[in-house]
Amino acid sequence: MSAEAGVGQIPEGETRAARLGVAIIGAGISGLVCARTLADRGHRVRVFDKSRGPGGRMSTRRAAGWRFDHGAQYFTVRDPAFEQSVAGWMEEGVVSRWAGKIAVLADGTTLTADRGNDRLVAVPGMNSVCRSLAANLDAHRWRFALPVDPLEDPCLFDTDLRLAACGDWCGGPRVEGAFLSGSAAAGRLLGRLPL
């Protein structure tokens, strides 16, 4: 693994020469690490998310005078590749150690109350890491999507895996198409499962 690989490290042998055009749906940390890794290697990446800002379950909400992280409250590090990225974020000032005291209360008694040193938080809010990953990426808010060319099949069904996929992208880009696609998927599944 190359020492300069950075975020989302890929062994050299696995990189591709051709320039890819990639659309990534979801600006949580996983989608953004994927996007950042590809963009840093010169691929054309566009990120779409249904929410206003990046973060997903690492989002921070704000209102007048207060803000809170409403997903992950801290994270820990075990993997060396993640550790390397976290070190970079600490240098950048978007991640810090967190020595908050965590207590477990039961029936009015404190069972544990430790102040471990291995917890990390993004600062000033949990979304800071994702904001940093998303910087300069071509990101779009994707609020409504309509399939342009829906499949003719009412649903997809893998007989061996007994896996059905349904949606308006199969049945047609309307409530009726989506309804019929869901019914078709149930029909295919029931056809395979013992009643």
Ligand X SMILES: Cc1cc2nc3c(=O)[nH]c(=O)nc-3n(C[C@H](O)[C@H](O)[C@H](O)COP(=O)(O)OP(=O)(O)OC[C@H]3O[C@@H](n4cnc5c(N)ncnc54)[C@H](O)[C@@H]3O)c2cc1C
Q: Provide, rounded to whole angstroms, the least separation between the CB of residue 68 and ligand X.
A: 11
Q: Provide, rounded to whole angstroms, the least separation between the CB of residue 92 and ligand X.
A: 19
Choosing from 56, 125, 150, 177, the residue that interacts with ligand X (CB under 6 A) is 56
142 contacts ligand X (rule: CB under 6 A): yes
189 contacts ligand X (rule: CB under 6 A): no
Q: Does residue 1 sit in helix, strand or coil?
A: coil
Q: Which pair of tokens denotes residue 116?
A: 């471990």
Closer to ligand X at the Cβ: 24 or 164?
A: 24
- Site pattern 63..82 for ligand X (x: CB under 6 A): --------xxxxx-------
179 contacts ligand X (rule: CB under 6 A): no
Host H or E run for residue 85: helix 80-92
By CB under 6 A, which span of 55-63, 89-97, 109-117, 180-188 interacts with ligand X? 55-63
Report the b/e string of 76-99 with b at 16+ CB within 10 A: eeeeeeeebbbeebeeeebbeebe
Q: Provide, rounded to whole angstroms, the least separation between the CB of residue 146 and ligand X.
A: 13
Closer to ligand X at the Cβ: 2 or 138?
A: 138
Number of residues that bind ligand X (CB under 6 A): 20
Residue of 119, 33, 114 whose CA lies nearest to 76: 119
Beta pairing class for 163-165 and 44-49: unpaired
DSSP assignments along 172-190, one per residue: -SSHHHHHHHHHHHHHHHH
Binding to ligand X, residues 20-39 (CB under 6 A): 25-31
Which residues, including other chains, have CB under 8 Å from residue 195's CB and lie 6 or more apart? none
Using CB under 6 A, list all residues that contact ligand X: 25-31, 48-51, 56-58, 71-75, 142
